[in-house]
Structure 1
Amino acid sequence: MLAAAGVGAAAGFALFRSGLYNVAATTPHLQAVYSLLERAMRYSVEHHASTVAAPRLGESAQVLRGAGLYSEHCAQCHGGPGTAPAAHGMSMQPAPGPLVDASARWKPRELYWITRHGIKMSGMPAWEVRLNEADTWAVVAFLTQLPGLDAGAYREMTRTRPGPGAQDLPLPASPRTVSAHGELLRGDAGRGKRVLAQYACQSCHRIPGITGSDVNVGRTLDDLAKRRIIAGLLPNGQDNLVRWIRNPQAVDPDTAMPNMGVTERDALDISAYLLSR
C-alpha cells in the first residue's frame, strides 16, 4: 500500500515538474480534473454558505435593481436571455456559462455567498467591496427570476442603469488595531487583510501575510510601519497612508500607482493591517 502511494506521488510530481500538463486557456482541463474541481467547489460553497440567513426576496424594486446590477457587472461574462457575453467572457476557461438555471442549481444563500466572496482560480470575482449587502441580495433576487424571462423581458428589465448604492455601515472603531510601534490605529486590520486583495494590491506589491506571486512592480510592503517616509514624500503615519492609498496621484502626479477607487473605510482597514505588521 505504501509502495503504491509512493509510486503515485512520484508520478504526480513528475507530471507537475515536467510542465506537460497544459495550463493554456485555449485548452480546457481534462474532464476528470474539471469534474473533481467542480465537485470540490460545490462542497465548499455549500459548507461555507450554510450559516447565511437569506432575507425575504422578490419585491419588484429589489428585483429591478438587481437586474440593473446584473447587466452592469455580470452580463459581460454570463450573458442573459438573448444576450451574448462579452468577448473576454466567452474566452475564459473554465467558461463562466449562463446563469438562467443558477437558481435551480444553487440555494439563494449559496448564490449570495458566491457573489460576495467569488471563487478563487476560476475568474469569478468577489464583489464584497463593490456591492453592499442590499445590492448583493438584489442580484440574488434577480437571479431567482431570470429563468422566467425571455429575451424581450430581459432587455426591458436591464434597460435602466442602477444608481449608486448606499455604503455599508462602518465597522465599530473598537477594538482598535495596535501598530508595530504600539500605536493605536483606527480600522480593522483583519478586514483590511481581506479587503486589500479585492483592490489587487498584491499584483504589484509583496505584502506580508498575503498570498501572491513574487512581484517587483511596486515596492515591497514589508516593515512599512518602520519607515520614516512613505511614497517618497509623506511622513509615515496612518492619516498620510490613507491619503496615499485613496488618491496617490493627488500626492504625486507622476506616480505610476493608479487611483483604485478605495473607499475611506477600506483605506482605514488596509492601513491598519499594513502598519500592524
Structure 2
Amino acid sequence: MPGSVRMKTVLATLLIAALLALAGMAVFIAGGFYDISATEPHTPPVHALLEATMRRSVKVRAADIVTPPLGDAATVERGAACYRDHCLQCHGGPGVPHGDIAKGLQPLPDPLAGAVRQWRPRELYWIVRHGIKMSGMPAWETRLPDADLWAVVAFLDRLPELSPAAFTETLAATRGARCLSASQGCESPGCRPIETADTHPLQHRDAQERAKLLLRQYACPACHMIPGIVGAQTHVGPPLAGLGRRERIAGKLPNDADNLVRWIRSPQSVDPSTAMPDMGVTEAHARQMAAYLESLR
C-alpha cells in the first residue's frame, strides 16, 4: 500500500473513532446517565481525573509566584482572623467540625491542617486568590487585599502545629480583629480600602477583564445575561446587552455612569420595589462595572 494511501486510511480511522467517541458522549449526556447530585460522590475515575487536573493546573499557574516572608506574628494573627471569618465554616479546624453547609458539598472541603504538606505556599496563595471551579471554593481576589491573602497562607503554615485547644485559643485571641472584605468598609485605624491596598492582584488585569471579573464575583450573571460573560441563560433580571443605548436605568434614572453606579450600589434606594438586592459593591468596583456595562452598545 503506498504511503499516501496508508496515511489517508489512518486519518480516516482516527476521524471515525473521534466521531464515534463524540456520538457516545452525546448519548451519555442526553441520557442523563451521570448522577450529578451532591448526595452521591463522583465515581473513582472521575474523582481521580478532576483531582489530577486541579493539582496540575494550580502548580503550573503558581510556578512564578514569589512568596514573601510569612513568619512574623502579626501576619499569622491576621491570617487567623481571616481564617476564622472566611474559612472555618467550610474547612473546620483541629477539634472544630465542618459547618453544616460544607457537609453537604461534593466534593467535601478538605481539612486544612495538612494543606502545607500537599502544597507550597505560592500554590496555597493561588488557590485562596482564585478559588477552584465546581468545588465550592470561592475566589477571594476581589474581596481581600494581597497582604491578607498571604496572611491566610501564613496561618495555614502554622496550623499543623496547633492542638485543638491551641487552635481554639488562637481564634479566640483574634476576637477583636476583623478580616475586612471589600463590602465591609474600612473603619479601623490604619486600614486602607481594598481598592488602594498595595499590590492588590486585581490591579494586574486590564480594565475590561477587571470589570468582567467583578461582575462575576458580585454574582451579577446569576440574574442577568451579560455579553462577554459565560453563565446560565437566566431570565430573573433583564439581559444587559445594549445597556449603554438605553435612555433610563431600571425605568427610573437617566442613563449615565454616575446613576448606574448608584443603581449598582443601592438599587432599593432608587426603587424600593425592585427585587435586585444590595450586593455590597464598593464605589471603586461599581465604577469599573459601570464602565463596562455602559460600553455595551
Q: What is residue 109 of structure 1 aligned with on the other side?
A: 122
1:144-174 deviation per Cα after TM superposition (whole angstroms, max 9, x unaligned): 0001111011001111233236323449xxx
Separation of aligned partners in 2, 1:77 and 1:118: 13
Q: What is residue 193 of structure 2 aligned with on the other side?
A: 167
Higher Cα Rg, which structure: 2
Q: Does 1:214 align with 2:233?
A: yes
Q: Under a length normalisation based on structure 1, what TM-score does the superposition of the two structures give?
A: 0.91
Q: What is residue 272 of structure 1 aligned with on the other side?
A: 291
1:128 deviates by: 1.2
Separation of aligned partners in 1, 2:61 and 2:101: 29
1:69 deviates by: 1.0
Separation of aligned partners in 1, 2:145 and 2:83: 14
Separation of aligned partners in 1, 2:80 and 2:71: 12
Q: Among 10, 13, 17, which residue is 2:26 paired with?
A: 13
Separation of aligned partners in 2, 1:101 and 1:190: 34
Q: What is residue 35 of structure 2 aligned with on the other side?
A: 22
Q: Among 45, 55, 63, which residue is 1:50 paired with?
A: 63
1:236-261 deviation per Cα after TM superposition (whole angstroms, max 9, x unaligned): 01111011111111111221111100
Q: What is residue 37 of structure 1 aligned with on the other side?
A: 50
Q: What is residue 145 of structure 2 aligned with on the other side?
A: 132
Q: What is residue 97 of structure 1 aligned with on the other side?
A: 110
Separation of aligned partners in 2, 1:72 and 1:190: 28
Query: Secondary structure of the residue that 2:280 maps to in structure 1?
Result: coil
1:46-91 deviation per Cα after TM superposition (whole angstroms, max 9, x unaligned): 1111222211102111101111110111011100000001111011
Separation of aligned partners in 1, 2:18 and 2:56: 26
Distance 1:88 1:169, change over 3 A: closer
Q: What is residue 229 of structure 1 aligned with on the other side?
A: 248
Q: What is residue 217 of structure 2 aligned with on the other side?
A: 198
CA contact (8 A) 1:76 1:89 kept: yes
Separation of aligned partners in 2, 1:221 and 1:51: 37
1:27-47 deviation per Cα after TM superposition (whole angstroms, max 9, x unaligned): 111110011011111111111
Q: Among 248, 257, 260, which residue is 1:241 paired with?
A: 260
Q: Under a length normalisation based on structure 2, what TM-score does the superposition of the two structures give?
A: 0.85
The residue identity in structure 2 corresponding to 1:34 is: H
CA RMSD of aligned residues (A): 1.6
Separation of aligned partners in 1, 2:147 and 2:216: 22
Asked which structure has the greater RCO (Cα within 8 Å, sep 6+), the reply is 1
Which consecutive unaligned segments of at least 5 residues does structure 1 have? 172-186
Separation of aligned partners in 1, 2:215 and 2:130: 13
Q: What is residue 143 of structure 1 aligned with on the other side?
A: 156
Considering fraction of residues, name the structure with more helix: 2
Q: Which stretch shows the higher mean deviation, 69-78 or 45-54?
A: 45-54
CA contact (8 A) 2:84 2:171 kept: yes
Q: What is residue 66 of structure 1 aligned with on the other side?
A: 79
1:7 deviates by: 3.0
Q: Does 1:88 align with 2:101?
A: yes
1:193-230 deviation per Cα after TM superposition (whole angstroms, max 9, x unaligned): 11110010000001001010000101110000000000
CA contact (8 A) 1:170 1:265 kept: no
1:6 deviates by: 3.5
The residue identity in structure 2 corresponding to 1:18 is: G
1:231 deviates by: 1.6
Q: What is residue 6 of structure 2 aligned with on the other side?
A: none
Separation of aligned partners in 1, 2:196 and 2:295: 20
Q: Which stretch shows the higher mean deviation, 10-19 or 76-85?
A: 10-19
Separation of aligned partners in 2, 1:228 and 1:189: 23
Aligned residues: 262
Separation of aligned partners in 1, 2:124 and 2:114: 12
CA contact (8 A) 1:132 1:166 kept: no
The residue identity in structure 1 corresponding to 2:105 is: M
